[in-house]
């Protein structure tokens, strides 16, 4: 009898305990959902939602006074006007399919990086919590524009979050890549020259956007021309759903490009760098105004913003971390930016010194310096040569696609500006080896608003021809190298056997350390440790892209030796 009473009391206690735990969990989930839900901005006038997209012909669409079309090299060109919400809505309607394509590629990339559903769900909630207050750090104008775009996003990804929430958070993807332990998604190189370092003394700016989410992501790039109701008219290179700026120039001849720097782990999201760059592009006419805007905004990762200014006829670099901001200028009539800081304020920062020591940043910086010295006076054409350069220091052959090269063959786009003439050259697919198309910013805004027929808006006589490398045997070999590398990775990840000729694979890219690293990894997976170790040793004898990678390879060799013993 006593035993039954004890059991009843225990069962009653366990029931109440379960109820309390369940109540706490439900309360936490409700609290979590309330805290992390990003509410769209209040918008009184929703009439833009009634605008309809009209198809003029294949790959040419018009919506109200704006339009989207694809040129003969596959670059999408878009003109956009109106207030913030209207711009967003029209942008979304014009690029609806592009938004879905880019989101599919982006989500696929993340799923490949993190194949575990458990960790993916954890990441989903981590990112939601991390970004819980991000909208309080973004101007209402840009929240409205993003909200407008979100009406055209696909329901296929609603399991991740609401359309508005997703589109907003994607604007911090570059920054979150930093936050998640330096995923090395971006390793860009840029430079500028003016005065006695250019052929006509006017300012030139060049940059590669090496934002690596895969080749497919770069296929549907958009050259966007924006005529906003506030601020300056501007152009920028972007992709479906993205209203932030990564490369652009406004009607005052002010250019903005961004280069990632080493960051400490932040605790929460603030202003995404692309949104800060967009604000500078839209509202600054010179370096001082750009710097003033940068000082006003809180960011959560470290970044360099290269600002070219026709008004100042020079370029400066705004270096910004979550705690500090510095302005780097030179007296040498040229400036170079890779992925480390140079200003007095930040050059001795602990993270920066570590980045200089361990990454490829200083190597690319020195290589640009060598090429600027080689050409002496830069033109648009030799600037393209610099951006396409695949050699290491002192013209050393370091293999195709090495991270130490200025041209790593991963670029989303490459761009060259002549700010005083409002001219911009944008590379066509693939990477920066396709033809550069020239656009005259003044002419586009004067002659092509309300376009009703599919005519060329670029300056054909000023286009820069494709790199001869595009038509070479080496490029064909590089494509084979990438394909076989992927087969090797898939074999290791999925425990598959593949037919592999070591000699044939090596011949696709014999000077690149990655060739031997892939082979070492494959034979390590097959437990052929001596063969694996031999290939790792060969990899170390080539130009390895960073000290961090050298440490990883040495650790692999150590593990092979232990397995052999």
Q: For residue range 520-555, list pLDDT tens digits in order.
A: 999 999 999 999 999 999 999 999 999 989 999 999
Q: pLDDT tens digit string along 295-306?
A: 999 999 999 999
Three-state secondary structure readout of 298-327: CECCCEEEEEEECCCCEEEEEEECCCCEEE
8 Å CB contact between 240 and 101: yes
pLDDT score, position 31: 40
294 Cα distance to chain centroid? 20
Please classify residue 267 by burial: count the beta carbons closer than 10 Å to its beta carbon, then call 0-12 exposed, 13-18 middle and 19+ buried: exposed
Of 12-26, 261-275, 414-428, 489-503, the least confident: 12-26
Looking at residue 464, what DSSP letter applies?
B
Beta-bridged to residue 416, according to DSSP, are 206, 425
Q: Is the pLDDT of residue 74 over 90?
A: yes
| pLDDT level of residue 12 (50, 70, 90 thresholds) | low
| Beta-strand relationship, 436-440 and 325-328 | unpaired
Q: Is the pLDDT of residue 262 over 90?
A: no
Residue 279: C-alpha distances to residues 230, 302, 329, 423, 516 (Å):
11, 17, 21, 21, 45
Q: Is the pLDDT of residue 356 over 50?
A: yes
Residue 360: C-alpha distances to residues 99, 210, 264, 514 (Å):
33, 13, 18, 15
Which of 458, 424, 422 lies closest to 442 in space, CA to CA?
Answer: 422
Cα 392 from Cα 544, distance rounded (Å)? 11
Which of 35, 16, 39 lies closest to 168 in space, CA to CA?
Answer: 39
Cis peptide before 42 (omega within 30 of 0): no
Which residue is associated with the tokens 């500028």?
192
| Beta-strand relationship, 222-228 and 76-82 | parallel
Query: What 3-state class would DSSP assign to 149?
Result: helix
Strands (DSSP E) contained in 391-529 are: 413-418, 423-427, 436-440
pLDDT score, position 359: 92
- % of the chain at pLDDT higher than 70: 91
Beta-bridged to residue 189, according to DSSP, are 208
Q: pLDDT tens digit string along 186-219?
A: 579 999 999 999 999 999 999 999 976 778 889 9
Of 151-155, 169-173, 283-287, 363-367, the least confident: 169-173
Which of 200, 204, 193, 203 lies closest to 416 in space, CA to CA?
Answer: 204
Which of 126-135, 179-188, 231-240 has the largest mean confidence?
231-240
Mean pLDDT of 516-523: 98
The CB density around residue 420, as the number of other CB atoms within 10 Å, is: 18
Cα 515 from Cα 399, distance rounded (Å)? 9
- % of the chain at pLDDT higher than 90: 79
8 Å CB contact between 207 and 414: yes
246 Cα distance to chain centroid? 8
Within 8 A by CB and 6+ apart from 364, the residues are 187, 189, 338, 339, 404, 405, 406
Mean pLDDT of 366-370: 98
Q: Which residue has the higher pLDDT, 161 or 421?
A: 421
pLDDT score, position 176: 74
Q: Is the pLDDT of residue 34 over 50?
A: no
Three-state secondary structure readout of 319-349: EECCCCEEEECCCCCEEEECCCCCCCCCCCC
pLDDT score, position 11: 60
pLDDT, the chain, mean: 91
pLDDT score, position 349: 92
| pLDDT level of residue 9 (50, 70, 90 thresholds) | low
| pLDDT level of residue 114 (50, 70, 90 thresholds) | confident
């Amino acid at each position: 009898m006593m035993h039954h009473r004890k059991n009843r009391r225990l069962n009653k206690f366990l029931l109440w305990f379960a109820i309390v735990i369940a109540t706490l969990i439900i309360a936490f989930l409700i609290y979590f959902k309330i805290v992390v839900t990003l509410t769209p901005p209040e918008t009184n006038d929703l009439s833009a939602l009634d605008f309809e997209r009209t198809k003029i012909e294949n790959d040419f669409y018009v919506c109200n006074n704006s339009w989207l079309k694809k040129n003969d090299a596959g670059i999408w060109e878009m003109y956009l006007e109106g207030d913030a919400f209207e711009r967003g809505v029209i942008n979304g309607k014009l690029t609806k399919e592009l938004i879905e394509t880019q989101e599919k590629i982006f989500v696929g990339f993340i799923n490949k990086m993190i194949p575990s559903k458990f960790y993916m769900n954890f990441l989903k909630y981590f990112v939601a919590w991390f970004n819980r207050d991000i909208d309080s750090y973004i101007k209402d104008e840009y929240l409205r524009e993003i909200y407008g775009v979100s009406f055209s996003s696909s329901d296929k990804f609603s399991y991740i979050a609401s359309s508005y929430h997703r589109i907003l958070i994607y604007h911090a993807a570059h920054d979150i890549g930093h936050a998640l332990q330096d995923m090395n998604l971006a390793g860009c190189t840029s430079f500028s020259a003016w005065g006695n370092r250019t052929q006509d003394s006017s300012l030139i700016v060049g940059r590669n956007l090496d934002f690596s989410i895969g080749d497919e992501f770069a296929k549907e790039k958009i050259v966007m021309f924006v005529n906003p109701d506030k601020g300056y008219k501007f152009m920028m290179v972007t992709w479906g759903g993205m209203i932030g700026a990564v490369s652009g120039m406004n009607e005052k001849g002010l250019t903005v490009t961004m280069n990632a720097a080493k960051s400490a782990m932040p605790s929460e999201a603030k202003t995404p760098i692309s949104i800060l760059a967009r604000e500078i592009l839209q509202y600054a006419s010179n370096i001082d105004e750009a710097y003033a805007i940068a000082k006003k905004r809180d960011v959560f990762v470290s970044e360099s913003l290269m600002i070219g200014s026709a008004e100042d006829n020079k370029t400066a670099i705004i270096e910004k971390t979550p705690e500090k901001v510095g302005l780097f200028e030179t007296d040498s009539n040229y400036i170079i930016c890779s992925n480390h800081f140079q200003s007095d304020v930040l050059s001795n920062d602990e993270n920066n010194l570590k980045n200089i020591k361990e990454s490829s940043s200083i190597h690319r910086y020195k290589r640009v310096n060598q090429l600027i010295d080689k050409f002496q006076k830069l033109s648009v054409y030799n600037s393209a040569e610099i951006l396409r350069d695949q050699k290491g220091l002192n013209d050393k052959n370091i293999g195709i696609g090495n991270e130490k090269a200025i041209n790593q063959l991963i670029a989303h786009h490459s761009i060259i500006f002549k700010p005083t003439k409002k001219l911009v050259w944008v590379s066509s697919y693939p990477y920066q080896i396709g033809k550069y198309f020239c656009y005259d910013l003044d002419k586009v805004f004067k002659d092509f608003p309300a376009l009703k027929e599919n005519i060329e808006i670029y300056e054909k006589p000023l286009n820069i021809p494709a790199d001869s490398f595009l038509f070479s045997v080496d490029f064909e070999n590089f494509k084979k190298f990438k394909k076989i590398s992927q087969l090797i990775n898939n074999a290791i990840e999925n425990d598959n056997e593949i037919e592999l000729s070591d000699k044939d694979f090596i011949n696709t890219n014999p000077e690149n350390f990655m060739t031997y690293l892939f082979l070492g990894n494959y034979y390590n997976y097959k437990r052929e440790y001596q063969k694996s170790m031999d290939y790792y040793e060969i990899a170390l004898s080539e130009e390895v892209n960073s000290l961090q990678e050298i440490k990883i390879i040495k650790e692999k060799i150590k593990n092979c030796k232990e397995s052999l013993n």
